[in-house]
A and B are shown apart, each in its own frame.
Chain A
Amino acid sequence: MPSVNVVNGKQIVVEDLGPAERAVRFFAKPFLQMLHHRDLIQAILRREVAERFKGSIAGWVWAVVAPLLAIAVYTFFFAGKLDLPPEFIITSSPNTNYALFILSGIIVFNFWSEMAFRAPMLLHEYVHFIKQTIFPSDMLAMISTLRATLYTVISIAVLLIFQVIVVGSLPWTMLLLPLIFIPFVAFVVGMSWFLCAVGAFTRDAGYLMINIVPLFMFATPIFYSHTSLPPPWNLVIYLNALTGYVDVMRDIMLLGKLPHWPVYAWTLFTSFVTFYLGYWFFDRYRNVIVDVI
């Protein structure tokens, strides 16, 4: 097998595959790539993690301080100023209800927004790797999302500890958390592939995200519940894919009930479609990106 085999600007794949095999190949490709480059992913991820709190003495303490600070702010300042749906009154202290409610939404949003801000500049950060070495640039979106995932997991852990303290117990549905969190990570990776490919062509993508991400903070039910919206807006808001994830996360983390199945199906659908559309888009333009970045 030649390591490079190109004819007229197209990579030659030696095997002759039917449509079904090609589809399987396509769906398996991101994961096979990940497996193949696992040592590289590990090395770059270490760098990314070290870089996040570069030059800071406290380091990862900040990852714990941030959600704690958020809890404090939401508990003391927001209390009583927002209408909370009655089902979310799960503790006797009204203030902590708000903190739990908002924090569970904002964790999802922060994860998404970190990558939405960063992805357009991601390939520029690694331009030397892309241009001077034989580098799997498609792994960068995965690696940087993995770092954001670590950070989010810490936030969730803080939230759960807080919940144990104020409520006294955790609902059993907690155990289902990976079933929504993993599709969410896939959704964010897919979005990052798309954004980092576009961002390689033009820096406008970065500026665009700086302007629209804050708007999404209000277009996502973080400080309110979608049930408080008048119809048809309580359904329209699901077009913002984040709504589904926030909804399911709150159901299983705070309320201890199974999510509505259409909502869960919708999150799986947006996750799957975003992941593979993003990968398809990146893969299609990756060879052009090397020349334009």
Chain B
Amino acid sequence: MSSSTSSDIVVQAKHLGKAYQLYARRNDWLKQVMLGWWKSYFKPFWVLRDIDLQVRRGESIGILGRNGCGKSTLLQVICGMTLPSHGELRVNGRIAPVLALGSTFDLELSGRENVMIGGAVLGLKRAEVLRKFNSIAEFAGIGDYMDQPVKHYSMGMRTRLAFSICAHVEAEILVVDEALAVGDAAFQRKCLDWIDNFRKTGTLLFVSHSMAEVRRLCTRAIWIEDGRIREQGDPSEVIRNYHRALVVEKDDVSRFSAARS
């Protein structure tokens, strides 16, 4: 990238779409694999449709939307965990995904051993994890539990440890998915302070159902509905409209059905 304007853009998505293949019968995927060139045996279920998104370096984006609207899928696509089915996506910079905190912990292993694995999975060298270990332990603040098997941890402690690992990755883009809901208020404040500090240098993509957090952290809010961007712009304005819609529009369960697409 030569020009300064294009290198400022860390996430560039054009007409991004993601469809999962839904099969009516359990074994139809087998037919799809073998006879897919002839006809298709699945219904595409579009979780994301026509997403146009541009994120500049240093921006903090809050993503709002109801359950199943495609927020998490959007984050997964941006992180490169799953491929979009349609459209263009370009991401520049080292991403640290803070999704489903602690889900990769091995319950039998100690917190210390899980830090080694978790750090490696986030792309840290072994030497880096060892160097940062004390800092990770201190941030997590779980004391002597560090050497106990994770199965003896409470959910809050797991979240503390997992977030603490993510906080030490030195990423350029931080992708946070409803990560902080479990921790106690003190730890949440600690995390928010840390994110606040991160925002000075990095780019933030932030999914939360807590409007207060979005209002505090984000420079722009994006409201996603049915896999499309319904509204984006100034956080307080988007949040106000989103709130109004939540009250006025009923909880329409039919959005989970594939038939509509």
The answer on a CB contact under 8 Å between B104 and A133 is: yes
Interface size on A, residues (CB 8 A): 35
Q: Does A16 contact B (CB under 8 A)?
A: no
Q: Does B210 contact A (CB under 8 A)?
A: no
Given that A43-B126, A135-B121 are known contacts, is A3 also in contact with B81, CB under 8 Å in the complex? no
Given that A8-B86, A291-B21 are known contacts, is A39 also in contact with B109, CB under 8 Å in the complex? no
Within 8 A of A (CB), among B11-63: 20-21, 27, 29-30, 33
Within 8 A of B (CB), among A199-247: 201-202
Stretch at the interface among B112-120, B132-140, B180-188: B112-120
Stretch at the interface among B91-99, B200-208, B225-233: B91-99
Contact of A47 among B30, B79, B109, B122 (CB under 8 A): B109
Stretch at the interface among A124-132, A166-174, A253-261, A265-273: A124-132
Complex interface: chain B residues within 8 A of A20 (CB): none
Q: Does A4 contact B (CB under 8 A)?
A: yes
Q: Does B155 contact A (CB under 8 A)?
A: no
Bound form: Cα–Cα A143–B124 in Å: 18
The answer on a CB contact under 8 Å between B103 and A132 is: yes
Please name the residue on chain B nearest to A40 by beta carbon.
Answer: B120
Shortest A97–chain B CB gap in Å is 43
Shortest B126–chain A CB gap in Å is 5
Shortest A211–chain B CB gap in Å is 19
Q: Does B125 contact A (CB under 8 A)?
A: yes
A-B contact count (CB 8 A): 114
Complex interface: chain A residues within 8 A of B106 (CB): 47, 51
Complex interface: chain A residues within 8 A of B86 (CB): 8-9
The answer on a CB contact under 8 Å between A133 and B108 is: no
Complex interface: chain B residues within 8 A of A201 (CB): 29-30, 33
The answer on a CB contact under 8 Å between A6 and B120 is: no
Q: Is the interface of A mostly helix, strand, loop or mixed?
A: helix
The answer on a CB contact under 8 Å between B97 and A133 is: yes
Complex interface: chain A residues within 8 A of B83 (CB): 6, 9-11, 287, 290
Complex interface: chain A residues within 8 A of B87 (CB): 7-8
Q: Does B68 contact A (CB under 8 A)?
A: no
The answer on a CB contact under 8 Å between A39 and B82 is: no
Given that A129-B104, A133-B81 are known contacts, is A3 also in contact with B120, CB under 8 Å in the complex? no
What band does the interface of chain B fall in when counting residues whose beta carbon is under 8 Å from A?
A: 35 or more
Complex interface: chain A residues within 8 A of B93 (CB): 3
The answer on a CB contact under 8 Å between B89 and A4 is: yes
Shortest A123–chain B CB gap in Å is 14
Complex interface: chain A residues within 8 A of B113 (CB): 46-47, 50
Shortest A124–chain B CB gap in Å is 14
Bound form: Cα–Cα A130–B103 in Å: 11
Interface centre among A2, A5, A42, A290 (most CB of B within 10 A): A2
Q: Does B100 contact A (CB under 8 A)?
A: yes
Shortest B54–chain A CB gap in Å is 14
The answer on a CB contact under 8 Å between A42 and B88 is: no
Q: Does B90 contact A (CB under 8 A)?
A: yes
Q: Does A44 contact B (CB under 8 A)?
A: yes
Within 8 A of B (CB), among A256-293: 287, 290-292
The answer on a CB contact under 8 Å between A3 and B124 is: no
Bound form: Cα–Cα A97–B117 in Å: 45
Complex interface: chain A residues within 8 A of B126 (CB): 39, 42-43
Please name the residue on chain A nearest to B177 by beta carbon.
Answer: A132
Excluding A8-B88, A54-B108, 5 further A-B contacts by CB distance (< 8 Å) are A39-B120, A42-B120, A42-B126, A46-B113, A287-B82
**Which B residues are within 8 Å of any A CB, using their own CB?**
20-21, 27, 29-30, 33, 76, 78-95, 97, 99-100, 103-104, 106, 108-109, 113, 116-117, 119-126
The 4 closest A-B pairs by CB, nearest first: A43-B120, A4-B91, A4-B80, A40-B120
Between-chain CB contacts (< 8 Å), 20 pairs: A3-B80, A3-B95, A4-B79, A4-B90, A5-B89, A6-B83, A7-B88, A8-B87, A9-B85, A43-B126, A129-B121, A132-B104, A133-B121, A134-B79, A134-B95, A287-B83, A291-B20, A291-B21, A292-B21, A292-B29
